Amino acid sequence: MQTFSERVVKCALAIPPGRVSTYGAIARAAGGGGMAARSVTAILGKAWESGERGIPFHRIVYSDGRIWVSDEYRARRLALYKKEGIELDKNDRIKDFADVLYEF
């Protein structure tokens, strides 16, 4: 039987190109409760540090369609969104969010 953390990683890896999911959707799909969404980033960060390099961090967004972006990763993330056909508005929110939202 997989742990919650293993299920979180599996869900993140399942998000297809051109689609996004939310921290909450991943937590729910992995069997977590309401507060579990807060642990998704830490779990995926630990998986990355342990060698799982396929995690599509850019496909995991906030529930209102906002993306997480830092100055360090901004150009790379924006290029990934463009490559996958995901459009952003001027406030770093995904346009047509409901259309590209991936639910498990």
Q: State the pLDDT confidence band at 33, using cuts at 50, 70 and 90.
A: confident
Q: Which residues pair with 66 in a beta bridge?
A: 93
Q: State the pLDDT confidence band at 20, using cuts at 50, 70 and 90.
A: very high
Could you tell me if 2 and 11 are in contact, meaning their C-beta atoms sit under 8 angstroms apart? no
Q: Which of 53, 8, 10, 61 is nearest to 30 (CA)?
A: 8
HSE value, Cβ hemisphere, 13 Å, CA-based, for 4: 12
Residue 34 has pLDDT above 80, yes or no: no
Residue 23 has pLDDT above 90, yes or no: yes
CATH architecture observed for domain 4-100: Orthogonal Bundle (1.10)
* pLDDT reported for residue 69: 87
Q: State the pLDDT confidence band at 64, using cuts at 50, 70 and 90.
A: very high
Could you tell me if 27 and 66 are in contact, meaning their C-beta atoms sit under 8 angstroms apart? no
What is the distance between the alpha carbons of residues 68 and 64, in angstroms, rounded to a whole number? 11
Q: State the pLDDT confidence band at 40, using cuts at 50, 70 and 90.
A: very high
More confident position, 75 or 34: 75
